[in-house]
Amino acid sequence: MFRIAPSLLSADFARLGDEVARVIASGADWIHFDVMDNHYVPNLTIGPLVCEAIRPHTTAPIDVHLMVKPVDRIIPDFARAGADIITFHPEASEHIDRSLGLIRDAGCQAGLVFNPATPLHHMDHVMDRLDVVLLMSVNPGFGGQAFIPETLDKLRAVRARLDAYEARSGRRILLEIDGGVKIDNIADIARAGADTFVAGSAVFGAGRDSDPNRYDSVIAALRAELAKVAA
Ligand SMILES: O=C(CO)[C@H](O)[C@H](O)COP(=O)(O)O
């Protein structure tokens, strides 16, 4: 099963509640919520207050991607604000195991995020605490960047680790990809092992150009490409 998670980074911030409702009504599965602190990454976006404000506009999972340092003190705020999934970057946490535990203790699913050049060994001793691995296919900080092709090899490497873990434990960890996902590359990304696809500019940019109220056609096009892989 594939999931499509539009990134709010490319949505219209002046009407976020409507954007959330419309993109889910148009067939998306999750809302991807990018949190940037102008410290860990060179951009500044949205926090728990905005998460809380959009929560009543959808029952779909809100997938909070923390690009902040430090991470621990903001985790309970996002859990209270209605986040379902919270992921963070290992470089931004002093104690990865503790941060994962904080997320799970708050009742959310937990995940680690790997930048294009971040080594994968950070997941080695915490697999039992992971619900999702998020692999960045751009350097974090901005929407609309081009997919880094080398990420496909890294994706295959993560897929192999997660499959081996599932064979050992019977637990499935989701593999999410984020950055430069478009209609013309999503099938190749799925073939390399991703099951969950963050798409910001592809969904909100193209959707807004064709129809300000609906995102059906772009989400249908992404699903049609994924159907070729599933078949
Ligand atoms: O985390 C992110 C950037 O740090 C964004 O989620 C990501 O870049 C999605 O945007 P796009 O699909 O336009 O590349």
* Rounded Cα distance, 81 and 69, in Å: 19
- Predicted local confidence at residue 213, as pLDDT: 60
pLDDT classification of 98: cutoffs 50, 70, 90: very high
**214 or 79, which is more confident?**
79
Is the pLDDT at 226 greater than 70? The verdict is yes
**Three-state secondary structure of 54-92:** HHHHCCCCEEEEEECCCCHHHHHHHHHCCCCEEEECHHH
Q: Whole domain around residue 37: which residue ranges?
A: 3-230
How far is CA 133 from its chain centroid?
9
Is the pLDDT at 198 greater than 90? The verdict is yes
Pocket test residue of 40, 85, 138 for ligand 1, highest count of atoms within 8 A of CB: 138
* Rounded Cα distance, 112 and 168, in Å: 20
Supply the ipTM of this predicted assembly: 0.97
Is the pLDDT at 207 greater than 70? The verdict is no
Judged by phi (left if over 0) then psi (alpha if -120 to 50, else beta), residue 170 lies in left
pLDDT classification of 80: cutoffs 50, 70, 90: very high
- Taking the centre of ligand 1 as the mean of its atom positions, its distance from the CA of residue 146, in whole angstroms, is 10
* Rounded Cα distance, 121 and 131, in Å: 17
Atom of ligand 1 nearest to the CA of 202: 12
Pocket test residue of 30, 34, 46 for ligand 1, highest count of atoms within 8 A of CB: 34
- Taking the centre of ligand 1 as the mean of its atom positions, its distance from the CA of residue 8, in whole angstroms, is 9
Q: How much of the chain, in percent, has pLDDT values that exceed 90?
A: 95
Over residues 212-225, the mean pLDDT reads 88
Average pLDDT of the chain to the nearest whole number: 96
Whether the CB of 199 sits within 6 Å of ligand 1: yes
Number of domains, the chain: 1
**Residue 90: which CATH number?**
3.20.20.70
Is the pLDDT at 205 greater than 60? The verdict is yes
Is the pLDDT at 212 greater than 90? The verdict is no
Q: Structure tokens of 166? A: 């599932």
Q: Structure tokens of 125? A: 């001793």
- Predicted local confidence at residue 206, as pLDDT: 72
* Rounded Cα distance, 73 and 48, in Å: 12
Q: What is the DSSP string of the chain?
A: --EEEEBGGGS-GGGHHHHHHHHHHTT---EEEEEEBSSSSS-B---HHHHHHHGGG--SPEEEEEE-SS-GGGHHHHHHTT-SEEEE-GGG-S-HHHHHHHHHHTT-EEEEEE-TTS-GGGGTT-GGG-SEEEEESS-TT-SSPPP-TTHHHHHHHHHHHHHHHHHHHS---EEEEESS--TTTHHHHHHTT--EEEESIIIIIHHHHH-TT--HHHHHHHHHHHHHHH-
Residue with tokens 């998670």: 5
- Taking the centre of ligand 1 as the mean of its atom positions, its distance from the CA of residue 218, in whole angstroms, is 16
Over residues 28-37, the mean pLDDT reads 98
- Predicted local confidence at residue 20, as pLDDT: 97
pLDDT classification of 230: cutoffs 50, 70, 90: confident
